[in-house]
A and B are shown apart, each in its own frame.
Chain A
Amino acid sequence: MSSEQDFKPLVVAFCCNWCSYAGADLAGTSRIQYPPNVRIIRVMCSGRVDPQFILRAFEKGADGVLVAGCHPGDCHYLKGNLYARRRVILLKRLLETIGIEPERLRLEWISASEGGKLAEVIHSFVKELEKLGPNPLKEVVK
């Protein structure tokens, strides 16, 4: 039995190449500390994050999924981040209906210069997930 204290949430973070991934790089080169619970997947644009990827991440056991893109208006492809936002909004609604806390899915705008914000976001997300506990899907036997 794992207690709440030993629970280390696993976060899958989809970061766009132009802003959020660059932000993560900056966090790295600036030696900003953030929890090691996160697995960053670089995508060209947050608009490329197919909702199937997100459900797949939950199905494979992620406790939380972060979609990070450029701030509205700054998208390298103009509107990809807005597409991502619409998808996340609708997907949260689906998650709620199917019994997965919608808070496990987060959308954040992180620019290339916001290495500090990236670290903060991961900090607060991990905290929130610690409270929520493990992804309940892990116990579903297909």
Chain B
Amino acid sequence: MGAVRIACEWLGICSGCEIAILDLHEGILPILEKVEFVHIPVLVDVKEIPEADVGIISGCIENEDNIEVAKEMREKCKIIVALGSCACFGGIPGLRNLYTREEVLEKAYVTTKSTVNPDRVFPRKDVLELQEYVKPLNQVIKVDYYIPGCPPPSDLIGSVLTALLEGKEPQLPTNTVCDECPLQKERKAIPEIRRWCVDGRPEPDKCILEQGFICLGPVTRAGCGAKCPSIGVPCRGCMGPTDRVIDQGAKMISALGSIWMLDEELEIPPEEYDKLAEQLYDPVGMLYRFTLPSSLIPRKIMKK
């Protein structure tokens, strides 16, 4: 059998996903024996996309060029793999769905502190027309397999590629970050929701969520080895939802509802609800940091 031809492309990215491939280190050697990277812009600047067996695409859809490249990859590759949370769910750039395109351009090209642009020069629309909103890859082309994570854990990339090379169906872990987390869980309720580092720091060795800090472990797919909680940092959910969760943020609100003890008393006057809700600081940033464009409400609804 000839070498399996792999083509990589990147769309709206930070290039962390590409570095995650390179981070396989010597783990990439057995893979390289069986594959040929026929197209990989992070290493070789070739403009034409050749035919390939497997196409790996990282990054979200944020401009016209991204759509064209994604479609061309779909035509040229037999299998398409979405690499990283930007491609899978929209990712961090998806948070711009809280703003209009005009606000985003204004911020990036005029009002950022490091920008001097008195003539208000913006990129030419005919070069890279920015889309109104960020989308994940599967809203533009059919995606066969997903490797989530921001960036995806290198061993997960390795295992998915190896499965594809062996003609097997790649599998993602189906359990949650909590299942892999070494911190001690006591099934405790929390009197209030706290902001990590702002309202204090979690005690080591104990479940971060049970200390009142939002940790997305219960609603996030395992596969990273609970990297963040293991070092005392709450999980922000970069691996995205598990197969049984449709909307990561809503499911986390459900989880919070099970442990957030407002009620030693039974009667909370409805006038106090809003005040209590303020404990949830920056709901979208906390609950949808990586998944807003693929969630049930994929963007902020702007007032007309």
Contact = CB atoms under 8 A, between A and B. Distances in A.
Contacts of A97: 98, 282-284, 300
Contacts, number: 105
A72 B278 CA distance: 22
B277 interface: yes
Interface residues of A, number: 31
18 contacts: A50-B251, A51-B251, A51-B253, A52-B245, A52-B254, A52-B296, A84-B257, A86-B257, A87-B256, A90-B253, A90-B277, A94-B250, A94-B283, A100-B301, A140-B297, A140-B298, A140-B299, A140-B301
A55 B266 contact: no
A83 B276 contact: no
Contacts of A84: 257
A72 B256 CA distance: 19
A100 B298 CA distance: 12
A98 B297 contact: yes
A55 to B, nearest CB: 4
Contacts of A58: 296-297
Given A51-B251, A89-B277, A137-B297, A82 B262 contact: yes
Contact of A52 (B247, B257, B267, B273): B247
Given A89-B262, A97-B284, 16 more contacts: A52-B246, A54-B250, A55-B295, A56-B296, A82-B262, A87-B254, A90-B277, A90-B283, A93-B274, A93-B280, A93-B283, A94-B249, A94-B250, A94-B253, A98-B284, A98-B299
Interface of B: 98, 139, 245-247, 249-251, 253-254, 256-258, 260, 262-263, 266-268, 273-274, 276-278, 280, 282-284, 287, 295-303
A132 to B, nearest CB: 12
A73 B266 contact: yes
Given A52-B251, A55-B247, A87-B253, A100 B258 contact: no
Given A83-B258, A86-B260, A91 B297 contact: no
Contacts of A89: 262, 273, 276-277
